[in-house]
Amino acid sequence: MHPIRLGLVGYGKIAQDQHVPAILANPQFELVAVATLGQPCPDVANFSSLAELLGTGPQVDAIAFCTPPQGRFALVQQALDAGKHVLVEKPPCSTLGEAMALVDDVETAGVTGLFAWHSRFAPGVQTAKDWLVGKTLKQVRVEWKEQVRKWHPGQTWIWQAGGLGVFDPGINALSIVTDLLPGSLFVESAALSVPDNCQSPIAADLKIRGAGPVEVLAEFDFDHSDNELWRIELHCEEGTLRLDSGGAQVSLDGVAQRVSEEGEYPAMYRYFAQLIADRQSDLDLQPLRIVADSFFVGSKQTVAAFHE
């Protein structure tokens, strides 16, 4: 079987650090073209736009999108109109309406689509899903606190309308929670802290209601300088399971558990290849809906201006 010929749109930090290494390490894919306005990707054909890549570049079967969510909708539509399979980085679009439209567009095009909630592929997530079977879940606590200057230096789009602010990393935690709790989740309250010079929050506290007595309490902080924390605790009557380092580590009642050493993005691309082979799609909207609901019902307070 020939490798899936892949084009990449956007060659920023996430593409350089995660996507390209995962693609190059997977024999199921061949990276043949990149569309970018920034520095070129080495050892591959580079183009200044997706239109140029599709019009004059090498033949591609699928396209992965790593651009900021603002403006991504139209780009993905271009790829779908050309009959290409699509992998779309999180969050898939800057609005829920655009993402919902893409779900319909993928089906109409008859291709494979994947909304790439990469944190769901952290090695500990499946361990947690398996452990939850038959357990009585009472509460989920999320602490997702990191330093934006470290992970997104100079990326001003994050603070603009549609950039999501702290929800850019926070949606990773929500993608795990919604995978572990597959039923509907509803935002009861959200407290959003918005810097004076930004349009998106730098911190947020959420209270989310799940099925039955389950509650989800989430604390997000994008200006956390010391002891960065990506933790989810599952409190059950039968014990407590904790995911640390974004799901890379698992402990059960304080005892570390063994997990796979495969990284999130290699696992995600392996899944994308399988979806293409099976002619299936995975276009879950629940993490983005929870973020949208948080903006909808959230109370907002203005805090000190953010500066790099």
d(C-alpha 278, C-alpha 89), whole Å:
21
Q: 90 catalytic, yes or no?
A: yes
Task: Give the up-direction half-sphere exposure of residue 55: CA atoms within 13 A in the CB hemisphere.
Answer: 7
CA atoms within a 13 Å half-sphere pointing along the CA-CB vector of 63: 30
Q: What would you report as the CA-atom Rg of the chain, rounded to the nearest whole angstrom? A: 19
| Total residues found in the chain within this entry | 308
Using CA atoms, how far apart are residues 101 and 118, in angstroms rounded to an integer? 21
Q: Which long-range contacts (CB under 8 A, 24 or more apart) does 271-279 make?
A: 271/114, 271/121, 272/62, 272/85, 272/87, 272/112, 272/114, 272/116, 273/4, 273/26, 273/28, 273/29, 275/112, 275/114, 276/4, 276/61, 276/62, 276/85, 276/112, 279/112
Tokens read off for 70 = 């603002």
Tell me how far apart the alpha carbons of residues 166 and 145 are, in angstroms, rounded to a whole number.
9
Q: Which of 13, 84, 90, 129 is catalytic?
A: 90
Q: How far is CA 126 from the centre of its chain?
A: 17
Q: Are 194 and 118 in contact (CB under 8 A)?
A: no
Please tell me the distance from the alpha carbon of residue 168 to that of residue 232, in angstroms, as a whole number: 17
Positions marked active-site: 90
